[in-house]
Amino acid sequence: MGNETTIEDFVLLGLSRNHNVQIMLFFIFILFYIATLFGNVLIMVTVNADSSLHSPMYFFLSNLSFIDLCYPSVTTPKMLVNLLSKDETISFNGCIAQIFFFHLFACAEIFLLTVMAFDRYIAICNPLRYASIMSRTTCILLVFSCWAGGAVHSIVQTWLMMTLPFCGPNEVDHFFCDILPLLKLACNDTYITGVLIVSNSGLISLVCFILLLVSYICILHSVRHRSAEGKHKALSTCAAHLTVVTIFFGPCIFIYTRPSTTFPLDKSISVFYAIMTPMLNPLIYTLRNTEVKSAMKRILSRKMSVQKT
């Protein structure tokens, strides 16, 4: 690779070349990033500080918040710097590092969202065996499996990119280094690599999404004969998760199942799963979850009581 790749850095073209638009995007995205950091840290602190939330569902939610803390941090800081700087370059190694960590966190989130759907399926469809099935050990092993699966996926994707030669041009038509925009810059035929990417990224997103849909169909089938109150309680716990899944999986499937074809709209769609979803997750889970809101109020009241004394 060292003999064939002559490019030492790439130029990230970003979302716009208009300076005024770049300034506007900087302020919008820095607010999004601050909200992402604050919201996900708040979820993690609340889940760990309140004993009523020490259950498998909130254990997974806390891990999801940790991923959503790391996930946008791979791409957003560099994008914010580029929006204000005339130097929009990123080193070759930095670009490869972005690909590795971006796909690590993204794939771990895909697997974790699938695990969370499985957790809801067991809780609603098999409540009597829920405690024995979703034990603490099982939950830890499931989360570890999500990270291990994400690591394997990311290593494969990074290796595929490092086998390609890059000899110019070096302008990446994106706001971060991702596989599909870089494929267009490779010096040789990338058809086989594109097929492997579909087999890796595309199929993982599609298969996990289908599993999620099947789990929710089973949940809907299970609660159809319950009382109105039972249906509402069961479905309300799933509504937030289904909203997150739709926002996250839709763009991923749209982009990564067709690597041989790219559209100008792809960059804007990438904003949803790379920036918007990590910010919206805490809002969706807190606004629709009375237990999390109650726990936050209890923690706040305890802190106020301590300050008064």
Domains of the chain: 9-304 (1.20.1070.10)
Most confident stretch, 23-27, 172-176, 269-273: 23-27
Tell me the one-letter amino acid at 71: Y
Radius of gyration (C-alpha) of the chain in whole angstroms: 21
288: which residues sit within 8 A by CB, 6+ positions away? 236, 239, 240
pLDDT score, position 244: 79
**pLDDT over 70, % of the chain:** 91
How would you class 27 by CB atoms within 10 Å of its CB: exposed for 0-12, middle for 13-18, buried for 19 or more?
Answer: exposed
Q: What is the pLDDT of residues 59-94, one digit of tens each?
A: 999 999 999 999 899 999 999 999 988 888 999 999
Q: Give 232 or 27, the one with higher predicted confidence.
A: 27
Q: What is the pLDDT of residues 284-306, one digit of tens each?
A: 777 667 778 788 888 878 777 76
Chain-centroid distance, C-alpha 305: 37
Q: Give 90 or 223, the one with higher predicted confidence.
A: 90
d(CA 211, CA 240): 17
Q: What is the pLDDT of residues 100-153, one digit of tens each?
A: 999 999 999 999 999 988 998 898 888 889 989 999 999 999 999 999 999 999
SS (H, E, C) 119-147: HHHHHHHCHHHHHHHCCHHHHHHHHHHHH
Rounded (5°) CA angle 209-213-217: 170
Assess whether pLDDT exceeds 60 at residue 15: yes
pLDDT band at 255 (very low <50, low <70, confident <90, very high): confident
pLDDT band at 261 (very low <50, low <70, confident <90, very high): low
User: What are the beta bridge partners of residue 171?
Assistant: 11
Q: Contact 272/71 with Cβ under 8 angstroms?
A: no
Q: Contact 146/115 with Cβ under 8 angstroms?
A: yes
- pLDDT averaged over every residue in the chain: 85
179: which residues sit within 8 A by CB, 6+ positions away? 99, 103, 157, 160, 161, 197, 201, 259
Cα of first residue to Cα of last residue in the chain, in angstroms, is 65
Closest CA to 62 of 73, 75, 49: 49
pLDDT score, position 50: 83
Q: What is the pLDDT of residues 181-196, one digit of tens each?
A: 888 888 887 778 777 7
SS3 207: helix
Dihedral Cα 243, 78, 208, 133, nearest 10 deg = -80
* pTM of this structure: 0.89
Q: Contact 93/203 with Cβ under 8 angstroms?
A: no
Q: Give 199 or 309, the one with higher predicted confidence.
A: 199
Assess whether pLDDT exceeds 70 at residue 209: yes
Assess whether pLDDT exceeds 70 at residue 1: no
Indicate the range of 136-150, 216-230, 244-258, 263-277 predicted with least confidence: 216-230
